[in-house]
Chain A
Amino acid sequence: MGTVASTPVRRVRHRSSSAVALLYLLPALLVFAAFFFLPLGRSIYLSFQRSDLFGRPNGFVGLRNYELLVTSGEFGRILLTTFAFVLLTVVPSMLIGLVLALLLSERIRFVRFFRTAFALPFAYSVATAAVLFGVMMNPATGAFNGLLSLVGLGPVGWLTQPPWALLSVALTSVWMQVGYNLLVLSAGLGAVPDDVLEAARLDGATGWRLQTRIVMPLISPQLFFLAVTGTIQALQSFGQIHILTRGGPDRSTTTLVYSIYDVAFANNNSNFGAGSAQAIVLLLVVLVITGFQFGVLERKVHYS
């Protein structure tokens, strides 16, 4: 024990055994194996299987589940809804978060108060936010239509009319997301060195120019991070759709993830084969986006 290692280095030479390290990796590896890697394999397997009435895999059908998906006509609409939902969620939440972060980076009073207040929506879970917005979006008694009526507008069928329903679900998601975006962007802005801003100001850059030419490029890693993680998170949204619209009206809020639930679990459908095929599509979409993220980051690292 008391022997002194000849050269103290972080990574001890490889001739010493990895056994101890593997022991320390084991708990995490076990959880991941049981609940990520094994199920991933089973998802792929199930997507090639027919399901019987009780959802049990019932014979290899090759790409049949995927074929049915593509030819159903419904799937194109689901992808389009998903894409619209992602766009309607990510873009506004980033814009509002950015505006808030920039406003709060000013030398003003009450910054701490405002920052804490604006971060509050971050505390809401998908269920608490969706139930709350559901109450406010109630067509007859909700606060939203009540406020609209004060200015002579409405009533709007927030959750009951096809074009509105998707907007309403997206609105709920944007609201939940803004606090997080603000925290990330504020952290980025806080790391922008003051002397850089001072130098830019001395060079005559102010206001809008300063923000767009100097500040925005400096927080581009944070913006990029939010765009990617926001997109992935929006793709995975489920609770707000399940609570507010159940994918309706007229399936106008049925996104990819909701469709997986719908096919596999809702109304005892138990069509795990078809659901798994859609799950694999989701996996591929997320992998492509993540791959894109790493590709861009890789380039940025070389660049700087």
Chain B
Amino acid sequence: MTTTATVAPPTSTDDPSPQRRTRRRTPSALGTYLGLGVLFVVLLFPVYFGLVGSFMGSADLTSFPPKLFPVSGLHPENYANALEVIPLGRQYLNSFVVAALVVAGQLVTSVCAAYALVFLPLRARTFWFFLLLSTMMIPWEAIIIPNYLAMAELGLVNTIAALALPYLAAGFGVFLMRQAFLTFPMELRDAARVDGVSTFGFLWRILAPLTRPSIAALGVWAFLSAWNMYFWPLLITQAPENQTIQIGITQLQSVDANDPGMVLAGVALALLPTLLLVLFGQRFIVRGLTAGAGR
């Protein structure tokens, strides 16, 4: 492995010969590692503190200056305490149910809509496309008041339905699936038609299986957004047993401000699913965001 670096802090070299330059790169590679090291410590300190702190006792965490590692032993009971103080288990389940509904809903609505936009005969195709995409430009916060009022009028406040319903479709999902379908080889579609495959059969048995990576990417993004949402669940649920884990962990602090270990344990619990996704599903996340970032 060479230590050649392509980026260097502005070096005042006036030597144009590339061969000689290669040899001189060791210091700049050192600089790269140094820069990465500093940023690593700074940016990952909160991650470290949050996770290690969730196993630390109050004595360590509230001493001043606070200990940065568990001096007085590990305190896994922080987790038990967090689960006891507020119905975090129930809220965890609520979050999972809402996220599952949102993922399923977005997969169905996005795949179907994109299928119509790309493969089916459709008049005013561009109009429908932009109509669906226009929802990406409407900030949710600008329509949150009427959405809240509608849920109140329908008597859906404090229900799982109210949490999931507005998110069963998303402009982003339609866009992502459309991009995936556009690259689908037309020969396969034509072959399927020759073989007499029905409209739905083509979608279900050929298109969907072959675009599975994109569908998985949409699923991951839908899950992340549903699991992480805050404003809407804050408004639409009031009783603790109807709330999601995201709202629940903010209550931990007000319940016992003197027990940061318990608060951090709650944070770690809420974080677990998305942390696993980022660690092991990163390629799906990247696939989703490159569709948005384009090119």
Contacts and interface: CB of A to CB of B under 8 A. Distances in A.
Interface string A1-40: 1101100101111101110111111011101101110111
Scoring B165, B194, B196, B230 by chain A CB atoms within 10 A of each residue's CB, the highest score goes to: B230
Contacts of A114: 36, 40
Given A272-B149, A282-B142, A225 B293 contact: yes
Interface stretch (A58-66, A73-81, A156-164, A203-211): A203-211
A96 B39 contact: yes
A242 interface: yes
B212 to A, nearest CB: 19
A99 B196 CA distance: 54
Contacts of A242: 230-231, 234
Interface residue range, chain A: 35 or more
Contacts of B266: 131
Contacts of A265: 148, 235
B279 A21 contact: no
B219 interface: no
Given A99-B39, A116-B279, A204-B18, A12 B121 contact: yes
Mostly helix, strand, loop or mixed at chain B's interface? Answer: helix
B113 A18 contact: no
Interface in A94-124: 96, 99-100, 102-109, 114, 116-124
Contact of A180 (B43, B249, B289): B289
A20 B199 contact: yes
A134 B113 CA distance: 42
A127 B230 contact: yes
Contacts of B145: 43, 46, 260, 264, 272, 275-276, 279
B145 to A, nearest CB: 5
A95 B233 CA distance: 33
B136 to A, nearest CB: 8
A204 B142 CA distance: 52
Contacts of B1: 109
User: Interface centre among A126, A136, A206, A282, by most B CB within 10 Å?
Assistant: A206
B46 A136 contact: yes
B274 interface: yes
B23 interface: no
B190 interface: yes
A187 B286 contact: yes
Nearest to A134: B253
Given A124-B271, A279-B142, A141 B282 contact: no
Interface string A144-185: 011101100000000000000000000000010011100110
A285 to B, nearest CB: 9
A146 B66 contact: yes
Given A107-B5, A120-B275, A187 B260 contact: no
User: For chain A, what secondary structure do more than half of its interface residues adopt (helix, strand, loop), or is it mixed?
Assistant: helix
Contacts of B277: 123
Contacts of A204: 16, 18
**B interface residue count range (under 10 / 10 to 19 / 20 to 34 / 35 or more):** 35 or more
Given A20-B120, A24-B115, A42-B146, A123 B274 contact: yes
A267 B20 CA distance: 69
Max chain B CB contacts within 10 Å: which of A18, A222, A232? A18
B239 interface: no
B7 A102 contact: yes
A280 interface: yes
Given A11-B125, A131-B267, A43 B32 contact: no
A53 interface: no
B2 A107 contact: yes
Interface in B1-54: 1-11, 13, 16, 18, 21, 28-29, 32-33, 35-36, 39-40, 43-44, 46-47, 49-50, 53
Contacts of A236: 139-141
A128 B121 contact: no
Given A20-B120, A107-B4, A239 B231 contact: yes
Contacts of B131: 29, 32
Contacts of B121: 11-14, 16-18, 20-21
A69 to B, nearest CB: 15
B264 interface: yes
A184 B139 CA distance: 22
A126 B228 contact: yes
Interface in B45-99: 46-47, 49-50, 53, 61-66, 68
12 contacts: A27-B112, A28-B113, A106-B29, A107-B2, A108-B3, A122-B278, A125-B228, A125-B229, A125-B230, A143-B49, A180-B289, A264-B145
Given A122-B285, A180-B289, 20 more contacts: A4-B194, A8-B189, A21-B121, A25-B112, A31-B165, A38-B146, A40-B143, A46-B146, A116-B282, A117-B44, A120-B275, A125-B228, A126-B246, A135-B253, A146-B64, A149-B65, A150-B65, A184-B290, A188-B293, A204-B16
